[in-house]
């Protein structure tokens, strides 16, 4: 397990130029006035995909089959990918929050940063959702199929986001309400706990599915 994680970390860190580019884009978005949640969410989502992409690397250079000749089980291989995605989520989230905090200090807007804490915490869950969705896909399909699936997924997310925004705008004109109050009178802690429970179930289902996919592979 340790060897698998070390290998994935080394491969990821070799892409320093790409990592620096993503960080620079995040800083540019921050300077242009994008919300804290958007900037941190962008950085986190890219980092998660970058970590999960190590599965494609393993397929391309036959590392996946090579690892199976060592005393490493298929379930351990799958678990290492979830751990890697989790580490990528945590590290990118912390880096993004530090960037936003420093920028808020420079602008003297710590109150604004503090008001976004709730949204920033939700970004961690976004990384978990990305990992739960993409790891089984990367294990199941080849690289060309993955590109098409990713295009469909992100296109679908964009369409759903636009449709949701239009629907909310339409409903607000008919029945005025504050979208920030759509928590069914639950506290923020209760909402976070509920989201955490749902995502935990998603991750468990995803892990079981990934293990099933991996067990069916022959090397």
Q: Give percent above pLDDT 70 in the chain.
A: 83
The C-alpha atoms of residue 77 and residue 74 are separated, in whole angstroms, by 5
pLDDT digit string, tens, across residues 115-173: 677 777 778 888 888 889 889 988 888 877 887 887 887 677 667 766 766 765 665 56
Q: Picking from 67-71, 180-184, 213-217, which range would have the lowest pLDDT averaged per residue?
A: 180-184
- 148 vs 34, which has greater pLDDT? 148
Longest dimension (CA), the chain: 64
pLDDT digit string, tens, across residues 1-19: 777 888 888 878 877 788 8
The C-alpha atoms of residue 214 and residue 183 are separated, in whole angstroms, by 39
The C-alpha atoms of residue 34 and residue 108 are separated, in whole angstroms, by 17
The C-alpha atoms of residue 13 and residue 214 are separated, in whole angstroms, by 26
pLDDT attached to residue 156:
75
pLDDT digit string, tens, across residues 158-199: 677 667 667 656 655 665 545 444 444 556 667 777 888 888
The C-alpha atoms of residue 26 and residue 139 are separated, in whole angstroms, by 29
Q: Are 206 and 52 in contact (CB under 8 A)?
A: no
Provide the 10 A C-beta neighbour count for residue 130: 22
């Amino acid at each position: 397990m340790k060897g698998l994680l070390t290998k994935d970390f080394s491969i990821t860190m070799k892409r320093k130029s790409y990592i620096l580019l993503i960080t620079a884009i995040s800083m540019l978005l921050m300077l242009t006035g994008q919300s804290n949640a958007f900037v941190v969410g962008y950085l986190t989502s890219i980092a998660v995909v970058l970590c999960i992409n190590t599965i494609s690397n393993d397929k391309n250079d036959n590392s996946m089959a090579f690892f199976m000749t060592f005393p490493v089980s298929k379930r351990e291989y799958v678990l290492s990918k979830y751990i890697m995605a989790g580490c990528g989520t945590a590290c990118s989230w912390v880096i993004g929050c530090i960037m936003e905090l420093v920028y808020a200090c420079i602008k003297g807007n710590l109150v604004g940063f503090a008001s976004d804490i709730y949204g920033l915490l939700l970004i961690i869950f976004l990384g978990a959702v990305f990992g739960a969705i993409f790891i089984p896909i990367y294990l199941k399909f080849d690289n060309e199929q993955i590109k098409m699936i990713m295009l469909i997924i992100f296109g679908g997310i964009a369409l759903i986001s636009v449709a949701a925004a239009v629907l909310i705008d339409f409903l607000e004109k008919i029945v005025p309400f504050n979208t920030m109050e759509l928590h069914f009178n639950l506290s923020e802690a209760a909402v976070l706990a509920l989201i955490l429970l749902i995502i935990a179930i998603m991750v468990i289902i995803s892990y079981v599915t990934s293990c099933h996919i991996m067990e069916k592979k022959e090397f």
